Amino acid sequence: MRVLTSLVLIPTVTWLILFSPQEVFHAAVAVFALLCWHEFAGLAGHYDAKLVSWHGWLPGLLILYAGLSGTMLMTVIILGAMAAALRNQELKLGIPATAFFALGLIYTFGAWRSAVELRTISPYWVFYANAINWVGDSAAYFVGRAIGKHKLAPRISPGKSVEGAVASVVFASAFGVGFLHYFLPETPLWLAMGVSVAANIAGQLGDLAESALKRGAGVKDSGTLLPGHGGWLDRLDSSLFSLPVTLFVLTLLR
């Protein structure tokens, strides 16, 4: 079932990123963001931060597509969430719920806003920011199984090794430089190397961050919507970090 799900997901996502009309891409991004937010809200409940999933829909979609500056928009949203938290019957839980609410919006909708921004530069940048995780994950898995001896983060993800993490950086960076040279040849070599290392490390941190979130919640998967893979957060955790970091590096250095 895991392989079958991948065989459906990979070509579908590739088409959406590279070839779909802009309106279809925007709709797909909204769906992915809403699914990730829904699963995050479920995980937050295990921390006694009871979030109602649909409460995040409007502010999340505003983050995705509103023309307001990010700072102004997030300030208004967080202040509104703090005001709403006053209605919580257990006042000591109101502010933690607000913190989870704000974190979840940035974590999910904010990351996918980066995908929207990257596609305005080139669809290949969106594909790159996702594919560099696929390559890195595969390298980490095979090298870690073959020679991995030193645990990377045993409390969070016991199966990951330092050797696998290093292999992930090396192979993903080689892929990134080759991909950018072929599909975005105007990218300088130094920038291709820098953004590839940064995006891969960000993706690995995203994987660990979601694992820590699940471990703290006491659950194995973020959801059950993807047969053999768990939930959408389980599949997209690396991209939620690599997308904004890729955009940030490009904005800073281009």
Question: Poorest-confidence range of 14-23, 59-68, 243-252?
Answer: 59-68
SS3 content of the chain, % helix, strand, coil (to 5): 80, 5, 20
Strand partners, 226: 230
pLDDT tens digits along 114-123: 999 999 999 9
Share of the chain above pLDDT 70, in %: 92
How confident is the model at residue 7, as a pLDDT? 67
Give the mean pLDDT of the chain.
Answer: 89
Is the pLDDT at 3 greater than 50? The verdict is no
Is the distance from CB of 123 to CB of 17 less than 8 angstroms?
yes
Instruction: Please tell me the distance from the alpha carbon of residue 210 to that of residue 232, in angstroms, as a whole number.
Output: 11
How confident is the model at residue 4, as a pLDDT? 58
Secondary structure class of 67 (helix, strand, coil): coil
What is the pTM (predicted TM-score) of this model?
Answer: 0.91
* Nearest alpha carbon to residue 207 among 167, 159, 246, 170: 159
Instruction: Please tell me the distance from the alpha carbon of residue 204 to that of residue 68, in angstroms, as a whole number.
Output: 31
